[in-house]
Amino acid sequence: MKLDHPPLAELLQRAYSAEKAAAFAYIGHAGSLKKQEDKAAVKQIEDDEWGHRKNVLVIMQKYDIPISKYYEVKFHIIGRIISASCYVIGWFMPYFFAGRLESGNVCEYFVMMHYFHSLGIREHDEVLYEMGMKEKDHEIYFLNQIRTSKLLPIFEKIFSWGDKFSFNDVDIENKYSVEKSNEYCKSYKGHADKHLDPK
C-alpha cells in the first residue's frame, strides 16, 4: 500500500534518519559524562532512539516509503559532529540542546498521527503515541539536569526553550489518552492543515 501524502512520507523519512543522528549524539554525550548514573541515563535515551528508528522503519516499509539517502548522509554527519563536540563544549550545552531537540521531536510523532488520521488510518496511533511521550520524557530529563544552572535563563531567551518554553503542548502530569491524543500539537508547524506552507 502506498500513501498519497508526500508530507507524511517525508516526515517519516526525516524522523528515521534524525533518530540516528540523535543516537550518535548521545553516544558522545554519555562518553563525556563522569558519573556512572548519568552515563547510564543518557545511554538509555540512546537505546530509545534506536528503538524509535526501528519502529519508524516498520511503518515506512508497510507503505513502501524508501529510506532517504540524502537524510541518511546528512544526519549521519550531523550526529557524528555533535557526538564529538560533546567532549569539548562543557557539560551544560549537551544537556540544553538535547532537551531542545527532544522538545521538537515530541510533536513530530503526533503530527504523523494527524496525517494518518487525515487518511483514515489509525492503526499506528499507539506506537506513535508511545514514541511522542517517550520524547517528552527525554525533554523533561534533560531539562531537569540543567534547571538550576545560571546559564539556563540566558540560553532560554536566545533559543526559546527551557523552563518556561517548550516546542510542544504535552503535559506529562496530565496526559491525554491515546484516543484523545490527536488534541496534541495542532498548532505545530508541520500540522496537516498547514503542511503546504510550512513556516
* Integer Cα distance of 13 and 81 in angstroms: 21
- Which residue reads 548522509 in cell numbers? 73
What pLDDT is attached to residue 197?
33
Query: Could you give the CA distance from residue 15 to residue 135 in angstroms, rounded to a whole number?
Result: 12
Domain ranges of the chain: 6-189
Backbone angles phi, psi at 158, to 5 degrees: -75, -45
How is residue 153 written as a grid cell?
Answer: 535563563
DSSP letter for each residue of 76-138: HHHHHHHHHHTTTSTTHHHHHHHHHHHHHHHHHHHHHHHHHHHTT--TTHHHHHHHHHHHHHH
Quote the CA–CA distance of 27 and 143 in Å, as a whole number.
19
How far apart are alpha carbons 75 and 124 in whole angstroms? Answer: 25
Which pLDDT does position 154 carry in this prediction?
97
CA–CA distance, 191 with 113 (Å, rounded to integer):
10
- Alpha-carbon span 39 to 27, nearest angstrom: 9
- 6-46: pLDDT as tens digits: 999 999 999 999 999 999 999 999 999 999 999 999 999 99
Q: In the 8-state DSSP scheme, what is residue 11?
A: H
Kindly report, residue by residue over 37-89, the tens digit of the pLDDT.
999 999 999 999 999 999 999 999 999 999 999 999 999 999 999 999 999 99
- What percent of the residues of the chain are helix, what percent strand, and what percent coil, each to the nearest 5? 70, 0, 30
Specify the CATH class of 6-189 in words.
Answer: mainly alpha
Question: pLDDT per residue over 84-117, tens digit each?
Answer: 999 999 999 999 999 999 999 999 999 999 999 9
d(CA 38, CA 197): 41
194, three cell numbers = 498547514
